[in-house]
């Protein structure tokens, strides 16, 4: 222990001999480690925001459909489910499920008597929808649909503006049910949603489940059950449990299954992030290796003197390796402190921006998990320690006579 402590203190003192070079290396390590943490926090924040927008405001974490519904295209309404309390109870009993609500989703035409356009109708149970998608009516102008409402609708902001519709106006919904027979019903506009996605802004119509069932002439039928979870991160695991509990006549999908482009984007961004962080850490390790090599070249005569006085080659190599480790440890700790401070400030205050096609800005809260912090720190510490091995081996193999003749 005493030998190690002497080696450690001597290594730390040697690093102060060229304070400018050591300071520049420490600054590079600190900024590099901090940048790696902030990059990881931003990527995690982007996907957390996407999850909140989609899961909390639109789809729910999981949806249960009748098998074949999602691939039926034009015949989707032929693959509906009964509005069945017993089925809801079966879904709710699965571990991880927090809430369940029925929905009827279909395409329709909405018009004001002079013009019309294609709409995507989401018919909901007003009492239970909020438990699954609490952000469904975020930033709404007007009011959401309620239990006692009959023949009302909430529209995406740009859809309502395109129809020149204001609160209280009567609009017409035209849609065909399972039989293919078209039907027309009036709805009164009670609210507009400044949506976070372009498709919702231009196409979304929210109405009550009972009104949609009347329009489609499909009483007691729904297209899906949306499921809210205790933890949205458990969506894939709960999906598998639900599928096993319900059987093959049902198709259970998570929100990432419904939007595979987001899953693909997440995999791509994570791969790119690993490459970027890896290259960044490699540059930091190279900087430490360069610093240690310069130190060896500058101290050639000193190393020769120590060898001539009987200091073992292994001790010289160990001293230089410890110098690299101390340099890496200090730089890593400073970088982690700076990075976590920046991430904390960003998480606390948020980063507000407007996604493409959105009516309203969204606020992202970058965050980094403990595992990412630990892995970044471990890679940096191991890398900087290994960076000192080459110069240390070089120094331990020097000849005392050649070192003392060096200028």
Q: Is 119 left (phi over 0), alpha (psi -120 to 50) or beta?
A: beta
Pairwise CA distance, residues 261 & 257, whole Å: 9
Q: The dihedral of CA 158, 164, 170, 173: what is its sign? A: negative
d(CA 403, CA 307): 9
- What are the sequence ranges of the domains in the chain? 2-53+263-405, 68-247
**Cα distance between residue 370 and residue 184, in whole Å:** 55
Q: Give the whole-angstrom CA distance, residue 252 versus residue 255.
A: 10
For 371-404, b/e burial (b = at least 16 CB within 10 A) is ebbeebbebbbebbbbbbebbbebbbebeeeebe
213: closest CA among 77, 67, 74, 117? 77
How far is CA 179 from its chain centroid?
42
- For residue 354 the two structure tokens come to 């407007």
- Nearest 5°: the CA angle 184, 186, 192 is 125
Residue pair 405/310 in contact (Cβ under 8 Å)? The answer is: no
Per-residue pLDDT of the chain (407 residues; tens, 9 = 90+): 565 566 667 666 666 666 677 788 788 888 888 988 998 898 888 888 888 888 888 889 999 999 988 887 777 888 999 999 999 999 999 999 999 999 999 999 999 888 889 999 999 998 899 899 888 887 778 888 888 788 899 998 888 888 998 898 999 999 988 877 888 989 999 988 887 677 777 888 999 999 999 999 999 999 999 999 998 888 999 999 999 999 999 999 998 888 887 778 778 878 887 888 788 778 777 877 777 766 666 666 666 666 666 666 666 667 677 777 788 888 889 989 999 999 999 999 988 877 766 667 778 889 988 888 898 888 888 888 777 666 666 655 666 666 555 55
For the chain, the three-class secondary structure string (H helix, E strand, C coil) is CHHHHHHHHHHHHHHCCCHHHHHHHHHHHHHHHHHHHHHHHHHHHHHHHHHHHHHHHHHCCEEEEECCHHHCHHHHHHCCEECCHHHHHHHHCCCCEEEEEEEEEEEEEEECCCCEEEEEEEEECHHHHHHHCCCCCCCCEECCCCCCCCCEEEEEHHHHHHCCCCCCCEEEEEEECCCCCEEEEEEEEEEEECCCCHHHHHHEEEEEHHHHHHHHCCCCEECEEEEEECCHHHHHHHHHHHHHHHCCCEEEEEHHHHCHHHHHHHHHHHHHHHHHHHHHHHHHHHHHHHHHHHHHHHCHHHHHHHHHCCCCHHHHHHHHHHHHHHHHHHHHHHHHHHHHHHHHHHHHHCEEECCCCCCCCEEECCCCCHHHHHHHHHHHHHHHHHHCHHHHHHHHCCCHHHHHHCC
Looking at the DSSP bridge assignments, the partners of residue 182 are 176
- Which pair of structure tokens corresponds to residue 30? 């600190």
Residue 307: Cβ within 10 Å count:
21
Per-residue pLDDT, 88 = 93
> So what's the pLDDT on residue 406?
55
Q: What is the pLDDT of residue 225?
A: 96
The answer to whether 389 touches 321, Cβ cutoff 8 Å, is yes
Residue 251's pLDDT is what?
Answer: 94
Instruction: Tell me how far CA of residue 387 lies from CA of 52, 116, 271, 280, 299, in angstroms.
Output: 42, 68, 25, 15, 18
Q: How far is CA 343 from CA 28, 108, 361, 368, 396, in A?
A: 19, 45, 21, 7, 42
What pLDDT sits at residue 122?
92
Provide the token pair at 274. 């690993």
| Residue located via tokens 């222990």 | 1
User: What confidence tens digit (pLDDT) does each residue in 32-87 have?
Assistant: 889 889 988 988 888 888 888 888 888 899 999 999 888 877 778 889 999 999 99
Q: What are phi and psi of 66, to 5 degrees?
A: -70, 140
How far, in Å, CA of 212 to CA of 83, rounded?
13
């Amino acid at each position: 222990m005493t030998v190690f402590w002497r080696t450690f203190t001597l290594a730390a003192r040697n690093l102060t001999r060229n304070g400018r070079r050591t300071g520049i290396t420490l600054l590079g390590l600190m900024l590099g480690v901090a940048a790696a943490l902030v990059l990881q926090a931003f990527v995690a924040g982007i996907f957390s925001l996407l999850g909140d927008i989609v899961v909390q405001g639109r789809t729910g974490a999981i949806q249960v459909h009748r098998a074949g519904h999602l691939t039926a295209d034009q015949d989707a309404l032929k693959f509906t489910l009964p509005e069945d309390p017993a089925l809801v109870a079966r879904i709710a009993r699965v571990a991880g499920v927090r809430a369940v609500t029925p929905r009827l989703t279909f395409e329709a035409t909405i018009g004001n008597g002079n013009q019309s356009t294609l709409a995507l109708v989401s018919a909901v149970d007003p009492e239970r929808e909020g438990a699954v998608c609490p952000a469904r009516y975020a930033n709404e102008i007007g009011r959401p649909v309620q239990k006692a409402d009959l023949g009302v609708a909430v529209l995406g902001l740009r859809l309502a503006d395109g129809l020149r519709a204001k609160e209280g106006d009567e609009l017409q919904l035209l849609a065909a049910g399972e039989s293919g027979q078209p039907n027309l019903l009036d709805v009164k506009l009670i609210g507009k949603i400044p949506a976070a996605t372009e498709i919702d802004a231009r196409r979304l119509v929210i109405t009550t489940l009972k009104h949609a069932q009347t329009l489609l002439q499909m009483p007691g039928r729904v297209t899906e059950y949306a499921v809210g979870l205790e933890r949205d991160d458990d969506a894939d695991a709960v999906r598998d449990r639900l599928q096993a509990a319900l059987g093959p006549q049902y198709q259970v999908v998570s929100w990432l299954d419904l939007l595979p482009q987001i899953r693909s984007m997440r995999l791509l961004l994570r791969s790119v992030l690993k490459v970027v962080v890896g290259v960044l850490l490699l540059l930091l390790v190279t900087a430490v290796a360069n610093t240690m090599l310069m130190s060896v070249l500058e101290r050639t005569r000193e190393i020769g003197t120590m060898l001539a006085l009987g200091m073992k080659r292994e001790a010289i190599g160990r001293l230089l390796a410890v110098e690299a480790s101390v340099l890496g440890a200090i730089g890593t700790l400073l970088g982690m402190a700076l990075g976590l401070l920046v991430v904390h400030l960003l998480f606390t205050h948020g980063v507000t921006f407007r996604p493409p096609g959105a009516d309203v800005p969204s606020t992202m809260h970058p965050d980094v998990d403990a595992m990412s912090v630990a892995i970044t720190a471990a890679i940096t510490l191991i890398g900087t320690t290994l960076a000192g091995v080459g110069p240390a081996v070089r120094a331990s193999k020097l000849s005392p006579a050649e070192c003392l003749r060096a200028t």
